Amino acid sequence: MLRRKILIVFCAVIALNVVLVLMRLSRNAQWSALETEARARETKLMSWGMRHRHFGNPDRYLGMIGGLVQNYYWREGLPLAPAQASVILQLDKLVTSAGDNLAQVAAGHIDQNPPDYREYEKRLEARLNDVISHAERMVSLGILTPEQASFVTQHYLVGSPAISSLENPNVQEMLGISQSQKKALADIRIDGMRRAARLIELKDNEKIRSQMVANDKATTASVMSILTTKQSELWKQLTTDRDAPAMPTNLTLISGIKEDPQQLDNLSPVFRGLSEKSESIGLSAEQKELLQSLEGITRQGLNWISLRKAGEPSIAKVQAEFLTQAEQVALVGILTEEQAKQFGALVVEK
């Protein structure tokens, strides 16, 4: 009798545990369904934004690329040769079109409501920002003359908040900003946001304006304090006032490969590889067209750098850096994330 009672209790306990497990599974399934539904609403909005990322501003130009031609400020102060203006606008259109293409591909992925959609969006945003930085570097290295590039850099640094300037990847590269300095900049940015948030406690407009000025001065002082002596000296050189440079008269457009003394495929394994592996990595007709446009812009920049005076910074060194930036525009901006991985694997295999 006792054994029977023990057995009944034992079976009841097992049955109860089974019921609890089933309830938990059911509850988890319900939560999972709710989570999937909520994620679907967010990814739907996200994919719409990717497909319409220029909504309300279809004719915009990138500030330090096409903006150098179209922005009134630069039109009045930066004399550009017609050929320079043409190439800059080509590069601006290329970067914008390539970004739109990447966004369309990303929207298709987001439409599938993937669990990692937020990380995917962050990676896309990083790629879009990186390609702009590389294209801006192309402009300063090879499409503008050294005098024009120095003039643009000086006006950009002086006309922007110090913290914004030092957050620019190209400025960071010029100054040699370290990882610890980048972290310090992030901390300064957060402190500045906290100070700005406290402005809401003030009721008098004059006090608010005064405090805003004080906050800006405090942020600038904090930013300047993280620079080394060498970086501070370079900053002073970069921000020294300059007269507008003369319009170059020796820069003209080359019409094609026949006029290009240096074949791009011979200079760049990346461009050569992309030409050879275009079918293997599934480049679309639009991507091939963008690559062709980038190759033309790159040849043009290399040609213009070769025309510089012997006394200027090493022509070969500048050409190599310009070519590296162009390659990054191709790999980061024209290829999708998956295509870039495939191309990297093919290059390693070869």
Residues 138 and 259 in one domain: yes
- Decide if 19 is inside a domain: no
Residues 200 and 263 in one domain: no
Residues 267 and 341 in one domain: yes
Task: Please name which of 340, 335, 336, 332 lies closest in space to residue 132, comparing C-alpha atoms.
Answer: 332
- Decide if 30 is inside a domain: no
- Decide if 40 is inside a domain: no
pTM, two decimal places: 0.83
Number of folded domains that form the chain? 2
In the chain, alpha helices (H) = 2-51, 67-70, 72-77, 82-110, 117-138, 146-159, 162-167, 169-175, 179-197, 205-225, 229-239, 264-267, 269-276, 285-306, 315-328, 337-349
Segment 10-37, tens digit of pLDDT: 565 565 565 555 556 555 545 455 566 7
Per DSSP, the three-state class of 202 is coil
Residues 133 and 274 in one domain: yes
Residues 225 and 262 in one domain: no
- Decide if 36 is inside a domain: no
Residues 167 and 193 in one domain: yes
Q: Please tell me the predicted confidence (pLDDT) of residue 311.
A: 61
Domain that holds residue 189: 160-244
Segment 123-132, tens digit of pLDDT: 989 999 999 9
Segment 167-206, tens digit of pLDDT: 999 999 999 999 999 999 999 999 989 988 888 887 878 8
More confident residue, 58 or 340: 340
Place of tokens 């290329």: 94
Q: Which of 202, 219, 244 is the last residue of a domain?
A: 244
